[in-house]
Structure 1
Amino acid sequence: MKKARYRLQPVLEVREQAKKDAAQRLSDARQALADAEAELARRAAAVDACRQRQAEADAKLRAALQAGSAAHALLAHRTFLADLKEEEGRLRDAVERQRAVIQRAEEAVEAALQGLIEASKEAQAIERHRENWRLARKADEERRENKDNDEFGASRYGRQP
């Protein structure tokens, strides 16, 4: 007997492909989140380095004041400190912007995860349907085979079905 073809196989294949695509989107979103977190760490390290440079410059300024440095040297130190504080402000702004990027990346991961869950549910629904179809086909074949065997036995031994 010819093997029956599952009519919804193309739908199942489309759902499986959608599930694979959703898994890839989730993977990409997680990678983007990891990259954004690494960038945040880099920017936070830059802020810390700037603060360290400020502390060093401040210590030099205090040492120069105690040594009785010239006014133009003190002015240069103050200007340098002001520049470092301005740079720190820019770096802090960059950190805050990166935190916003991370927030969006986390939302993208969550959306991709929900998409994967939905695609998996849709694929599982078709899989369950295919399994039920397969079991129904098997039961039909067994009934047919039993009927054929009963008819064969009845005809062989002269009984009426």
Structure 2
Amino acid sequence: MSSPIDSDHIAFLIADIARHFRIAFEHDIAKSEIGVTASEARVLAQLARAGATRQVSLADSMCLAPMSLSVFLDRLEAQGLVRRQADPSDRRAKLVALTPEADPILQRMAEMGQQVSAIALDGLDEAGQQRFAEAAKTIRRNLEVHRGVKPLRMEVEP
């Protein structure tokens, strides 16, 4: 019996690629002994992408329950890697931001990410990589619009 599910559909391919990237990166984080767990590294990476952001927005962007994120932030704050402060526009909300102490860890994470990317992109020339990146950005933007989500960062057209 043939299945109506196409395992090579773009959605499955993207999910598989993301899963493999995450597994490889988490493995490298665990081996590196940089002082944060893979989950904490994801929080740092998301903050590096977004800049200072409300804690609830950060949890939403990472598809985490706010309480789960809070546990990670407690540990990162105890290490001096992030700080939480009242949002000046809404004192009930908390803004989360990276501290300068996070810079060396982010640098090491970026190096590990580049190594994983080099492995993943082996066999694709520069033009192929660029086409894939542009297509992926279009897909992301389309799905954000469909979902009514504000993009993490606005992309500037040249």
**TM-score, shorter chain, exceeding 0.5:** no
TM-score, normalising length: structure 2:
0.23
- Point out which structure has higher relative CO (alpha carbons under 8 A, 6+ apart): 1
User: As a proportion of its length, which structure holds more strand?
Assistant: 2
State the TM-score, normalized to the length of structure 1.
0.23
Larger Rg: 1
Bigger share in helix:
1
